[in-house]
Chains A and B, each alone.
Chain A
Amino acid sequence: MAPFELISSKANSSAGALKINLPLPYSGSIADVIGSYSALFVKSYSPGNLATTSMRGMGAQHTAVLWNGINLQSMMNSNIDLNLLPVFFFDQAAIETGANAASAANGALAGAIYLNNLPRKLNKTYGEILSGSFGLNSLALGSSYNFGKLFLNSRFINRTALNNFEYVNYFSANKPIERLRNSGFKQSGFMQELDFDINSNHSVYVNYWYIQTDRDLPPAMGIANTYNEHQDDYSHKFIVKHNGALSSKINLINKAAFINEQINYYHDLLLPAFNDASTWLAESQLNWKLSPLIEFSSSLNYTLQEAKTDGYHLGKQRHLISLWQNINYTSKNKRSRVSIGSRQLMVNGNMVPASPDLGFEFKIYSNLKWKSNLAAGYRIPSFNDLYWQAGGNTELKPEISKKAESSLELNVSGFKFATTGFLHHVNDWILWTPDPVSQIWKANNAKSVRSSGLELSTEYRYKFSNWHDLKFFGRYQFVRSINTQVYSHDSTALGKQLFYTPVNTASLQAQYRIKSFFLNIGMNYTGSVFTTADNAIDNQLPAYVLFNSTLAYAFNFKNHSGELSIKVLNLTNKTYQVMENRPMPLRNFQIAFKFNINYDK
């Protein structure tokens, strides 16, 4: 089973940062992994359909998703669909809810999800074949070759699902059982990695991946026609990275990247809509160990963003230049660390206010650590917010965030516990509201939100003997995310919890191993959410608890290994909805065979 560290000990993060390392199976999407393990709320319309996440009660646009340090959020709407990111294409996934996540990228006001590739220089062929309920079939296949200085790794995925599960249609008089219509999903893609060691001090890493996703878009319950609503996504991502050790103290990382996203939307009654967005990026980062106790980092980033959609069919572009600087100090006795950083962004030659952060951690005892962070951040408007016709507003200001958090981490022989309290303020939140005169929906800096809460994480590992052990992970999040200023004509939302933002979420995972058998039971609790901004008592989705279970048998044959697993999702057959009137599947099954054929002796 994949490793899982709820309270990361190895995260490469600044002082005070809170990071969760997520396990990465071979099948499924990042949305599946986050939904199962993190206690973050994943807004999902149906399996395989649009999925975004809300971190600490903020919007989906406030969580950056960074692939090898490149922000994948769409410049068009500041979101990213987590179902378009297959886990098989990543070697490491982590969530950083720390206040200084804002220094990671523009828009990471609430936090960041890190997806990294870490070349493991092995000669092997690996993959997984999976089949499941509702027409789910998945193949993941990879092969890596190590030629000494040169390492190549290829990965391929293909995933299809009908998602035609049954649900009770409570809009019809007799509440008949029906099957979800127009919900098919097809995804295929490949990734090619190359890592070349020029010499002992310099290496070059190249990664290109292409993924194509064709999805039918099912209607909400109560809607008669599907109109064959359909969306095709095509994505190219390319990065070339040079890593050079200029001396024993100075390290230089140069990156160039290109990302292209095409989204084609089809509806029987509408003209097709074509969206095309490209990002070109160049970045240099210097890490300089000024002394054994002080480390300085600085990066200069240039990004060109271009997009063309029906809303701005002539196309728009913008140039971003950002300078990030950070200094880390570790005390002589290693008990305390301090980190001070700032990101300065310039958009088309205009300065956006700086995003500074200050973090420190202090070892109260050898096993008890106190971390705190203060930060300010900005999110520049998306292209749609600025330019969409009608309603785009070029006068928009960046959203402003100020936040603070403090946490305690306890680590006692196999038992870890962390608690974090946080307070975020976001002002000038961009909102689309109907113009009272023209009735055209327009983007405005119309809202302020205060989000405060508490996070608890715990992790326990107990080894009974060499042949059986128990691991336990738990995470709970309490978030009050309140509108402190609202659109002038929507006073009923003032002081109310943001809609589709649960106050309580929790996740528990228990993993028991006996010899080569593994039993994993996961529980996810999502508190009730309001579906309207005014928090009307009748407009709520009830809380739900989902149980998932996996039984796996792992075996070795010579150098090779394999794992056969059976997974039961929604074990208790719970009827639930994440989005109003969007049914979700009842109990369903998956069977998978995972293998690693190792050629190294």
Chain B
Amino acid sequence: MTNNIKFALGFSILALTFSSCKKDSEITKETEDYKGLIVVNEGGFNKSNGSLGVYKPGTKTYFDAFKKANDRPLGDVVQSIAEMNGKLYIVVNNSNKIEVINKSDFKSVTSISSTSPRFMVNIGNNKAVLSNLYDNSVKIVDLNTNAISAQVNINHWSDALSVLDSVTYIATLDNKVMLLNNKKQSLMDSVSTATGLSKVVNLGPDNLAFLCTGLIDWNSGNTLENGTIQIYNSDSGKITLSVPLSGAGYGGSMVYDASAAAVYFNLGNNVIQKMTLAGLISTYITLPSGVSVYGLSIDTNGNLYVTDAGDFNSAGKVYVYNSAGTKTNEFSAGIAPSAVWVND
């Protein structure tokens, strides 16, 4: 080997070593970068400015994480997010797609096409259920191939989802919860609920809570029927408790705090209420006048994340409350934030 060849070879190895080192450091940096609070921002309808952001409480910084990782915006109406097998499934409703990204670096893995998707839950055996509007069936997604492998007709448009004891509970827009057998992937039963079924929340062993937000006259804004929270027992297959609420709302949010054995809910105004599993309701948090809660999320430590979409045309806000109900943080996010998820 001549000296020139040796030099060239040595230089190449050196260059490769340095470039490899640089690459590793970038990966490490990015892995750290995407840890924090993931905020799902719906964006303005028909404006394609929905986003998935990350807020880092330590540095109090917020950035458009999906765009940063993939050098492209996300789409129109970012509806929900679900973690499955180390990946995040971002459901982008009006873009008719589910963006699949790595949880670690937010890099895009693939994109699944589906008409007007809403929510996604893991049902085991590397399968997930996907709900959608404008279609009377739910889709079964194969998490190995990230493709829709089957669909199950449920005779209704579908929305919120929850899994309990190998059964997927599917909220419909017709005040019915449809029960899907996860193993057979077939429809097994249905439950009629109160008016305005909005959320289905898993309360742990054998129980679910249904948030029904009542009925409002679209024209006048007057309440026609107050909302209800119902507790459903999966063993008996019956609603065991119906608690009338003092008002109604258009969407509403509800989460379950296992440590407090209570749900926190909101009907779109500035008051977050608490209901024990026995049905006792009390005011939990009152936000400043003018704030209208757009979404509630809770982490395993009982921290409650309250999103406020504001005018739907500027950065929305996220308020963080600890398990004692004390506000510990607030920050600006993207347009119309609706949910927060902890990426640790």
Contacts and interface: CB of A to CB of B under 8 A. Distances in A.
B220 interface: yes
B315 A492 contact: yes
Given A220-B46, A221-B48, A269-B134, A489 B310 contact: yes
Contacts of A489: 290-292, 310-311
Contact of A440 (B108, B111, B221, B309): B221
B49 A531 contact: yes
B95 A223 contact: yes
A216 B262 CA distance: 50
B291 A437 contact: no
A490 B311 CA distance: 7
Interface string B51-74: 000000000000010000010111
A439 B94 CA distance: 22
A439 B216 CA distance: 11
Contact of A439 (B74, B292, B313): B292
A199 B249 CA distance: 69
Please indicate which of the listed interface residues B216, B269, B313, B332 has the most CB atoms of chain A within 10 Å of its own CB.
B313
A601 interface: no
Contacts of A172: 72, 111
A189 interface: no
Given A221-B48, A225-B96, A390-B219, A532 B335 contact: yes
B61 to A, nearest CB: 13
B220 A389 contact: yes
B220 A581 contact: no
Interface string A532-561: 111010110000000000000000000000
A520 to B, nearest CB: 36
Given A219-B46, A224-B94, A439 B249 contact: yes
Contacts of B218: 389-390, 440
Contacts of A438: 216, 221, 250, 268
A414 interface: no
Please indicate which of the listed interface residues B64, B70, B97, B268 has the most CB atoms of chain A within 10 Å of its own CB.
B268
Interface residues of B, number: 45
Interface stretch (A80-88, A277-285, A290-298, A428-436): A428-436
Contacts of B221: 390, 435, 438, 440
Nearest to B252: A439
A172 B95 CA distance: 11
B72 A173 contact: yes
Interface in A103-150: none
Contacts of B134: 269
Contacts of A436: 269-270, 289-292
Contacts of A224: 94-97, 113, 115
A8 B220 CA distance: 51
A534 B216 CA distance: 31
Given A435-B221, A440-B221, A490-B310, A536 B315 contact: yes
B94 A170 contact: no
Given A173-B108, A533-B311, A581 B47 contact: yes
Secondary structure at the A interface, as helix, strand, loop or mixed, is loop
A478 interface: no
B72 A534 contact: no
A220 B48 CA distance: 7
Given A222-B48, A390-B219, A499-B313, A488 B73 contact: no
B287 to A, nearest CB: 10
B196 to A, nearest CB: 13
Contacts of B310: 489-490, 492
A240 B157 CA distance: 55
Given A222-B73, A390-B221, A436-B290, A493 B48 contact: no
A170 B216 contact: no
A273 to B, nearest CB: 15
A210 interface: no
A220 B268 contact: no
A135 to B, nearest CB: 25
A172 B314 CA distance: 25
Contacts of A269: 134
Interface in A210-267: 219-225
A469 interface: no
A435 B268 CA distance: 10
Nearest to B314: A534
A439 to B, nearest CB: 4
A492 B270 CA distance: 19
Interface string A158-183: 00000000000011110100000000
A352 B256 CA distance: 54
A171 B72 CA distance: 6
A532 B251 CA distance: 24
A518 to B, nearest CB: 41
A378 to B, nearest CB: 25
A555 B291 CA distance: 68
A535 B82 CA distance: 31
Contacts of A173: 70, 72, 108, 111
Contact of B314 (A171, A390, A492, A581): A492
Interface in B229-288: 249-251, 268-270
A390 B222 CA distance: 10
A223 B74 CA distance: 10
Given A533-B313, A534-B314, A580-B47, A222 B290 contact: no
Interface string B87-130: 00000001111000000000010010101000000000000000
B75 interface: yes
A487 interface: yes
Contacts of B159: none
A172 B71 CA distance: 10
B225 to A, nearest CB: 14
A94 B271 CA distance: 54
A171 B48 contact: yes
A434 B312 contact: yes
A225 B115 contact: yes
A592 B220 CA distance: 54
B122 to A, nearest CB: 24
A538 B65 CA distance: 12
Please indicate which of the listed interface residues A223, A492, A538, A580 has the most CB atoms of chain B within 10 Å of its own CB.
A223
Nearest to B108: A173
A170 B249 contact: no
Interface string A420-432: 0000000000000
A19 to B, nearest CB: 35
B75 to A, nearest CB: 5
A436 B294 CA distance: 10
Contacts of A170: 72-73
Nearest to A534: B314
Interface in B309-329: 309-315
Interface in A480-506: 487-490, 492-493, 499
Contact of B311 (A220, A221, A390, A487): A487
Contacts of B46: 219-220, 223
Contacts of A434: 292, 309, 311-312
10 contacts: A220-B48, A224-B113, A225-B94, A225-B96, A390-B217, A437-B292, A438-B221, A489-B290, A533-B313, A581-B49
Given A172-B111, A437-B292, A487-B311, 11 more contacts: A171-B48, A171-B95, A175-B72, A389-B218, A390-B220, A433-B311, A436-B292, A437-B268, A439-B249, A440-B250, A581-B73
Interface of B: 46-49, 64, 70, 72-76, 94-97, 108, 111, 113, 115, 134, 216-221, 249-251, 268-270, 289-292, 309-315, 332, 335
The 3 A-B pairs at the shortest CB distance, nearest first, are namely A224-B96, A222-B48, A534-B314
